[in-house]
Amino acid sequence: MATEPNDPHSSGTWQARPVRQRKRLVTGIYVQRPQTDQIATCIDEIRGNRAYLTEPTVLLLTGDTGLGKSTFLKKYAKKSRRRRVAGRVKQPIIYMEMPTQATPLAAAELLLKLLGDPRSERGRLSSREFRIVELLKAERVEIVLIDEFQHIIEASGASRLNAVANLIKQVVKQAGVPLLLCGMPEVKAIVEGHPQLAGICDLRFEMEAFSHDTDAGRLALRIFLRDYDRHLPFDQLSRLGSPDIAEALGCASGGNMRRLIRLLWRAAFRAIERGAPSIQTEDLEEAFARVMHTYNQRTNVFTTLRKHDG
């Protein structure tokens, strides 16, 4: 695989740095996609306009596992730092991950803990709802991001969905705080089939895998890989966004972000370990053999690419 100077790192110092440091930098790389940029912009607007909204605002974000939903939400939450005001810690953004088999009562307890309530495990649901509303106001929370929302839906069943909907409605209506509910694709169907939930979830996004079947999908993947390449701790670019390598990465990962990142991590680690100036085709070939066998993919597209390059 041919390489070219990696402009941000053209001083040629990366190979002199410790392997552990470089590997740590690899696993810390985060590049937003155009789709997540759009969602982030929407969240920003809602946070900024929340004081003027007369109706409860709930966003629904769905998508298959491995597309980067949780990573996006965690990164977004970190944008707004906690701050101490008059001896109290205030946090504009609350991120909570719904535990498996979560009931409405358990969800309320977790949110109270995140808000710093020392009595989070006490009281009936109605009492906890009241305290949540008061704490959200006191802490000046701008939005609550609820991840793995399917867990509370799966555990609640039809009889408890009304309690889930009521909890959500009370939080956004009484506290004036928007919510973002994130979960698997089945969440969308359940929400649409429930009158109360459908009525309050008026903004909906569906995160998708990179498509290598359309020109737009291929271009989006190439742009992502180009930007990712620029953040890698190498002294030269790896040409990840070139048409041939991007196509191979798209085919190998199926456009799934988790698989794609695991491939890139492994390839980068190998290149670092052997002192290469960038990721080479042989690194991607080995990464595929190590990572993708767990997904029952037997044809190593990088073997074909390496032979073609040779």
E strand residue ranges, the chain: 4-5, 58-62, 83-85, 88-90, 93-97, 143-147, 179-183, 203-206, 236-237
Residues 182 and 258 grouped into a single domain: no
Distance between CA atoms of residues 160 and 151, nearest Å: 13
pLDDT < 50: residue spans in the chain: 1-5, 8-10
Give the pLDDT of residue 157: 62
Distance between CA atoms of residues 309 and 270, nearest Å: 20
Residues 113 and 249 grouped into a single domain: no
Give the pLDDT of residue 294: 61
Question: 167, 200, 233 — which closes off a domain?
Answer: 200
Q: Is residue 160 part of a domain?
A: yes
The partner residues of 90 in beta bridges, in order of sequence, read 83
Give the pLDDT of residue 40: 93
Among candidate residues 2, 32, 7, the one with its CA nearest the CA of residue 223:
32
CB–CB of 75/39 below 8 Å? no
Question: 200, 226, 251 — which closes off a domain?
Answer: 200
CB–CB of 126/156 below 8 Å? no
Residues 134 and 76 grouped into a single domain: yes
Residues 159 and 188 grouped into a single domain: yes
Residues 24 and 61 grouped into a single domain: no
Residues 47 and 104 grouped into a single domain: yes
Q: Is residue 205 part of a domain?
A: no
pLDDT per residue as tens digits for the range 94-132? 999 988 878 888 889 999 999 889 999 999 988 998 999
Residues 116 and 161 grouped into a single domain: yes
Residues 97 and 193 grouped into a single domain: yes
Distance between CA atoms of residues 104 and 163, nearest Å: 7
Question: 156, 171, 200 — which closes off a domain?
Answer: 200
Q: Is residue 108 part of a domain?
A: yes
Q: How far is CA 151 from the centre of its chain?
A: 17
The residue length of the chain stands at 310
The partner residues of 88 in beta bridges, in order of sequence, read 85
Residues 52 and 180 grouped into a single domain: yes
Cα dihedral 8/14/18/21 (nearest 10): 20
Among candidate residues 151, 110, 152, 102, the one with its CA nearest the CA of residue 132:
110
Instruction: State the CATH number of the domain containing residue 94.
Output: 3.40.50.300
Phi, psi torsion values for 238, nearest 5 degrees: -100, 5
Residues 275 and 215 grouped into a single domain: yes
Residues 165 and 257 grouped into a single domain: no
Query: Could you list the residue range(s) of the whole structural domain that residue 10 is in?
Result: 4-29+210-309
Residues 238 and 133 grouped into a single domain: no
**Domains in the chain, number:** 2
Beta-carbon contacts of 140 under 8 Å, excluding residues fewer than 6 positions away, are 90, 92
The partner residues of 89 in beta bridges, in order of sequence, read 84
Give the pLDDT of residue 8: 47
